Amino acid sequence: MDLFDVAIVGGGPAGSSCAAFCALAGLRALVLEREKFPREKVCGDCLNPSCWAVFTRLDLAKRVRALPHAKLERVEFIAIGGRKVIVDLPSGEVCELAIKRSLLDDLLLKRAGELGAQINEETTVTALSNSNGWKIETAGGKNFVAQMLVAADGRNSTVARLCNLLPRPERERIALQSHLRLPGNFGNRVVLQLLPHGYAGLSPVNDEELNVCLVAKPRNISALKAWATKRFDVLPDHTWRTITPLTRAPIPPERENLFLIGDAARVVEPFTGEGIYYAICSGKLAAEAIAKIIRGEDRQASLREFVRACGEMYRGRLWINRLARAGVLSPRIASFLVRSAPLSPAIMRLLTEKIAGRDD
């Protein structure tokens, strides 16, 4: 049975970036992904400019820009009643792009393989035990052993569940997402539109398709779906993807020989442009900590630095997450905040820069 330095469960942006950085550090890295890529994922499809520093480290920036995409120039907050607050996004090579997750995730996973990580797709983890290393059992009957384990398997993490770490989800909201025909003259903008029944997140992902995300309380999701059906001329039987939970208590990002990254550690709104940044950045941070430990550096100091860096990554950036949640639970209060923003536009601009700013 092969022994790996690190086994990573989940091949999305968090898992792929962690595997890639582990491979770059000379570690034997294994990725176990239950699906076959490419595949779509419920997401806002937005890459904020902070992502580019990580893509550059992985020699992926040019390849990401070569994928079909939309270059996003501004974000619009629209209150109930139609009042808008518009904030320009960064321009140039470090701009914000929207790219379908099927394309981006496939590229990231392939890059991890190119750098030397072993990729096992269509592999579902069924059991875990931790004694002198992690023993990992899969549905196909194949077992793996690794010194370190990384949970990068999303908001309903199998690893967290098998380790009895998964908190109870909150069922306060439902999300629907789809790619629809891009309306004429929509423009290169991101829209967060607050509505009486919830909110809609909108952004083009290429020259032909619009990412439409809807979030509402369970009793209101049908009304919000009817709004989108009329607004975008969607057939009544159109299929929407869904995801839950949208809210869940965070899990500490490290336990004994276990790291949790991306949505496995902290669930954020999937439609605000932040999730992919948190995923790839936390993957990089975990890989750095794991490499130090494997090399024999001070274990506790490495873990403390990882936890500190994860906290710093989120600090000052989760306000849009809270605004989006308020847009469903208290839509009129959230709209009041947007309507009040023109009185002090610098406040909204400052807050948006927390998300759209660069991390070099």
How confident is the model over 236-250, as pLDDT tens digits? 889 999 987 787 889
Is residue 343 very low, low, confident or very high in pLDDT (cuts 50, 70, 90)?
very low
Question: Within a domain: residue 67?
Answer: no
Question: Within a domain: residue 181?
Answer: no
Question: Within a domain: residue 159?
Answer: yes
Condensed to tens digits (0 to 9), the pLDDT of residues 29-51 reads 999 999 999 999 988 899 988 89
Sign for the CA dihedral angle at 30, 33, 39, 45 comes to: negative
| d(C-alpha 44, C-alpha 214), whole Å | 10
Name the pTM for this structure. 0.90
In the predicted structure, residue 336 carries a pLDDT above the cut 80? no
Phi, psi angles (nearest 5°) of residue 247: -135, 135
Rank 5-14, 80-89, 222-231, 312-321 by mean pLDDT and report only the highest.
5-14
Is residue 334 very low, low, confident or very high in pLDDT (cuts 50, 70, 90)?
low
> Quick one: pLDDT at residue 236?
82
Question: Within a domain: residue 218?
Answer: no
| d(C-alpha 76, C-alpha 186), whole Å | 12
Q: Which H or E element spans position 336?
A: helix 331-340
Question: Within a domain: residue 164?
Answer: yes
Question: Within a domain: residue 15?
Answer: yes
Per-chain mean pLDDT for the chain:
88
Q: Which domain holds residue 130?
A: 3-41+101-169+249-314
Question: Within a domain: residue 56?
Answer: no
Question: Within a domain: residue 255?
Answer: yes
For 20-29, 36-45, 102-111, which range has the lowest pLDDT when averaged over its residues?
36-45
In the chain, how many domains are there? 1
For 183, what's the count of Cα atoms within 13 Å in the CB-facing half-sphere? 13
Domain with 256 in it: what CATH number? 3.50.50.60
Condensed to tens digits (0 to 9), the pLDDT of residues 203-215 reads 999 999 999 999 8
In the predicted structure, residue 192 carries a pLDDT above the cut 90? no
Percent of the chain with pLDDT over 70: 86
CA distances from 58 to 63, 112, 207, 294, 360 (A): 10, 9, 27, 21, 14
| Residues ≥6 apart with Cβ < 8 Å to 302 | 289, 292, 293
